[in-house]
Structure 1
Amino acid sequence: MSEEYGPDFISITDEDGNEFELEHVDTIEHKGQVYMAFFPADTDESEEENDEEESGLIILKVVEENGEEQLSTLDSEEELEEVYDRFMEDLFREEEGNEGE
């Protein structure tokens, strides 16, 4: 979807049955794996105060299960750090490119 139409939102359900709405920020491929970055779309101020850690960038990977693409958490802290760094590099590269406009 083109950005001129606004941000992309998805709803996901965690293993406990809690539903969350997320705003898609970016998608990258890293070491042959596709990763997607999101921000929480609906943050309550009270939730934000109690759970500041949860209101940051959320990175999930695309996995195929039973022939269907699904989003999954990352397997390790090292994988998360590598992919987070890649998203940040891309974000800063985009911002630097936009400064001259």
Structure 2
Amino acid sequence: MENFLENITLTDEEGNDVEFEVITKLEIEDTEYFIVAPIDDENEDAIALKVLKDEDGEEYFATVEDEEEFNMVNDAFETLYDEGVIE
């Protein structure tokens, strides 16, 4: 994935395009993760997405649903935030 994405547009389950602000990109154990927040809904929490590849080698985003993996990404994000690396 591109290194300096500012916003991305994703399609929700209902087929609607939703624009997200990319808060930060993390690389953990050879996997890329993006922390994103919806631009139009300030009440919605940020979400963690990971970059996967399909059978053709094309990259796509998937939500982090495994609790242990989510906690690992969240801990990394909080550490960077606490250290002032990201705002």
Match of residue 76, structure 2, among 75, 86, 96: 86
> Are residue 70 (structure 1) and residue 68 (structure 2) matched?
no
Offset at 1:8? 1.2
Q: Gaps spanning 5+ residues in structure 1: where?
A: 49-54, 96-101
After superposing on structure 2, the runs of 4+ consecutive aligned residues of structure 1 that deviate more than 2 Å are none
CA RMSD of aligned residues (A): 2.2
| Separation of aligned partners in 2, 1:23 and 1:71 | 14
For normalisation by structure 1, the TM-score amounts to 0.70
Partner residue in 1 for 2:7: 9
Structure with larger Rg: 1
For normalisation by structure 2, the TM-score amounts to 0.80
Cα displacement string for residues 10-41 of structure 1 (whole angstroms, at most 9, x for unaligned residues): 11013432321100010111122110001110
Q: Gaps spanning 5+ residues in structure 2: where?
A: none
